[in-house]
Structure 1
Amino acid sequence: DVKFFGDTASAYMLWDASADDLILGGAAGLSVNGTALVTGVLTTTAATVSNGGGQFNGAINVGVDDTGYDVKFFGATSGAYMHWDQSADDLVLGVGSELVIGTTASAQLLGGGIYIDSGGYAAITLKKGASNTGHAIDFNDESNALQYRIATNVASGGENLLFCNGATPALQLTAAGDLVFLTGSDILTTTLGSNNIRIGLDAGDNILSGGNQNVAVGDYAGTAITTGDGNTAVGYNALASEDTGGSDTAIGHSALANKDKNNDTFNTALGHSAGISTTSASANTFIGGQAGYYATTAQHSVFMGYNSGFGVDGTPLTGDNNVAIGSAAGKDLQGVAHSNVFVGHNAGTEVTVGFENTLIGHLAGDDLTNSDRNTAVGAYALHTNTLGQYNTAVGYGALNTANHATATNAYNVAVGYSAGQSVSTGTNNTLIGGLAGDGLTTAANNTAVGYSALSAALAGTSCTAIGLSALALATGNENTALGVNAGNVITSGTNNLIIGVNADPSAATSTNQMVMGREVTGSGDNTFTFGAGTSDSAIANGADSISQPSDQRYKEEIADATAGLAFIKDLRPVTFKWKKEKDLPTSHRAYVEGSETRTMNDSTNHGFIAQEVKTAIDAHSEIKDGFNMWSTDDQADGGRQRLAGGALVPILVKAIQEQNALIEALTARIAVLEG
């Protein structure tokens, strides 16, 4: 054995011959000077080397390249170590160990973590724990620029990713997955223009100086925009062709994808492929998947709903001012079709090049093709019509089955629930009211106003029915009825005029009857009957006098009249002319100030004076209260007095009888005297 002692007690170096080991004992250390220390020069089989230290002033290699050895460094804390694991080529820090990089430990070391310090400020901080202070990850520049916090109770809440401006949070990703732009934060995307936002592959990638306030979100959205302003493109390929145009809004896959016009066009497209074929059009609104799909240069149009205003491949829509709202509304619009309004599912769905049609309601006018100026409002209104024009149908099922297979100016009007619902090829019909004219088929020139008016199956023409159920059963031609249930007994009758509630001709097959008055019944063909109920009068066509009911079965208290010659003798027949209108009582409606026109006529007339007749009536008690020769208009200020000459007939008959009796008596006396 060889043992070397130094100046320090218990410090020595020993060569142990029995073990072939070199031992540094006590406080002895090993100092190696030079540029390199090569392992393998000193070999020991000892398990540990302790109680000493060493300083290496050169490079240290443990093993050689591609052949390594484990190296393990222990510290003062149990379980804390640094280990080079040669089998995994990993540097391992044991539990409790930390890695500190920097010249100044200005930041506190909390738990296990990594500190990279520069100039006294933490550049990276990794923290583990749940303290109320500190951070989980900090990328710092004098203050926290990026914070990732996994602990709860930190300043901004639990489990957050914060991007900060200085010490002020600006962007937060919460534990719930929400991305929050905090107060005062903005999204700014670098472009040559100003105030543009671009998100997505090649989105708005060609914006130049002068292209401002554009938003492009989605791959290739607004990819062609250069100097256009105020465009919004959201969705794959949305507004992909526009370059210098502005003020367009395209939201959806390929919305307005081919739009390219060099000025502000104010188009709005929302939906997959909405307005995809639009090129140079302006002021359009397309909302819905494939809405306005083939509208190329059409302008000032509104299409809302899936396939609304879709169009036809090869025949693009160029007409303007169309409105189609509803799934497949106006789906086949093409060419120069213009100024149409379609609202409702499939409303006007087959209209091609028609113009100025207004079709509102589910399946309203859905079979119209090349037809113009029709109006249909209500589900199934004008449902089956194809080429008929100038029709107006308002109400559920109005003109439902109208169907002109050739271009026809039909001029039908139907307003009301199922009004004219059976009209097929009829024309010039006006039907207003629920079920009005609902039985008409090929009929023409008819007018029905009122519920169920002119409701029977009718191929005839020129009937007019106004009032609930007026002419409800009529199938004949040229009947006219005015009033509730007026003429509702007529079936095949023709040429009748019926006016009044429940007024009817004498039979269902009546012809040429005129009936006027509430519940009046006609007296026969070719007559005019008027009155109220059973109090009526009638005159045969071509006759010169009016008849009235005189049936003995309607009379009682029958007695011989006594008024006769004496009354007649008190009447004064006169001739006269009517006064001028300016000379009439000013309170009467017939008065016209300054008028030189005579009332009634300019002739010299024969007649009586009403006031004188009234005096004669009052002077004869035999005149009964039912005598209606004299009357007066019912006016507060004293109306005109009237005379009915026909009332004199019974009295004249009585006077003649009296005179005849006198003549017979005188004749008898003369005969006696002469005999």
Structure 2
Amino acid sequence: MKHINFKIVFSLLVIITFSNFMAKSQITYLSGTGTNNCATGAGTSGASCTFIGCGAGIVNTAKSNTFVGDSAGGNNIKLNDNVAIGHKALFTQSNNGATPWYTYNVAVGNQALYSNNPTSSTSGISNTAIGHNALYNNTIGDDNTAVGFYAGRATTTGNDNTFLGYRAGKLNNTGSNNTFIGRLAGQTVTTNGNNTCVGNGADIPSTYTNCTALGYGAVTGASNDYVQIGNTSVATIHGQVAFTSSDRRIKNNIKENVPGLAFINLLKPVTYHLNIHEENRIIGYPSLKDSLDNVIGIDTMYWEGKYDIEKINYSGLIAQQVDSAAQQIGYNFSGIYKPKSSNDLYSLSYAQMVVPLIKAVQELSNKYDSLLAIISPAGNTKSMQNTSGGKGENENKQEIKLKLPVEIMMSEARPNPNDGKAEIDYYLPSSVLNAKIIFTDMLGNVIKEVQLTTGYGTIAVDTMELPNGTYTFSLVTDGKVYNTKKMLRNK
């Protein structure tokens, strides 16, 4: 006994134990009808394939497939060049036709790409799904990439999507060309496409396209072709430059008909504080959802500085008032965005306000030039000898030329406010064919129209029967509103 070689005994025991394990497990290794295959507890047909796991690639006859995990690629027959790692990953796809084709799908995770089932060499191909149930429902969608738990889970036929993050794009069904990056990014998008969401909870209402939401909780308005940067707490967006395409070659129907003072004088600048609690209530986001994706309330998540924006005393305009002013003079102002639904907000483009402001400055400049023409010297200044004083002193004499102005003018009401009486001066050059002043109340209703004649004139206005308030009067010449001013009645 003392001469027994324990190394040999130990080696024999290992061989016997492994042989019994292989026999009991009914595992086939490097066998079957295919070539260059490696299979453990799985199918062995095809060529250049690797199958590891119970039922992995069990009916496969294709080539260049790697299936690892219980039933991974379990129904694949004649689809080449796929990778499936995980329980029932890439489980459904089959193709039992006469001609095999390449599908280039990669599924990593429990039931990733579970339902994928190409019907031709151009459908259900080139998808990458990594994560539990990633692209689970995809059937014939192409060129999709989903990484994360439930990422792109509901996608069936959508193409060219990228979903990256926990439940990113999880409800997308037939939408294509979407890019959603971040936890719950694009969480409500279903059938719309060409959208981009980057950030935790960044989202787009479910029926709109060509929209972009950037930042935590950023949600676009209820409209196509919309970009939202940041959530409702964002107070400042910085950047070095900002340009808008303004090339003459891409503009049609160009008209120089922008109103100036007639529009600007109707606007009411204000100061205000934002109420983002109300803003979040109106837009209905962020929202809390239960396990079945039912909305159960508004998100009350708090972080330091979330409501600091409500402390800022802003200066600006009210979009509804700007819209009313534009309508009052018949100006189709493109700087106003009107809500498309009850969950949308009015918006105002302050950049576009510059255009009527430029026109207003030009009108004021013309008025200044007209007034200057009345009082400025037109001739030379001559020095004349004083012959009466006998002291040889020089006396300055100026020759001036007076002429009527060529620009239309209308003064402010005076006094303003008034307590029942006011006067308005005007001047109309002879080139004006028809002119009138229209008085309107606070609601835009016409109170009185007064026809004017050319030359200088004064209108005496009796406001005794009017209630206190702000009224407007507009000078209309040859069918166009030239200027609009305000008149205050205060008894």
Q: Which TM-score bucket, shorter chain as reference?
A: 0.3 to 0.5
| Length-normalised TM-score, structure 1 | 0.35
Name whichever structure is richer in helix by fraction.
2
| Length-normalised TM-score, structure 2 | 0.47
Larger radius of gyration: 1
If asked which structure has higher relative contact order (CA below 8 Å, sep 6+), I would say 2
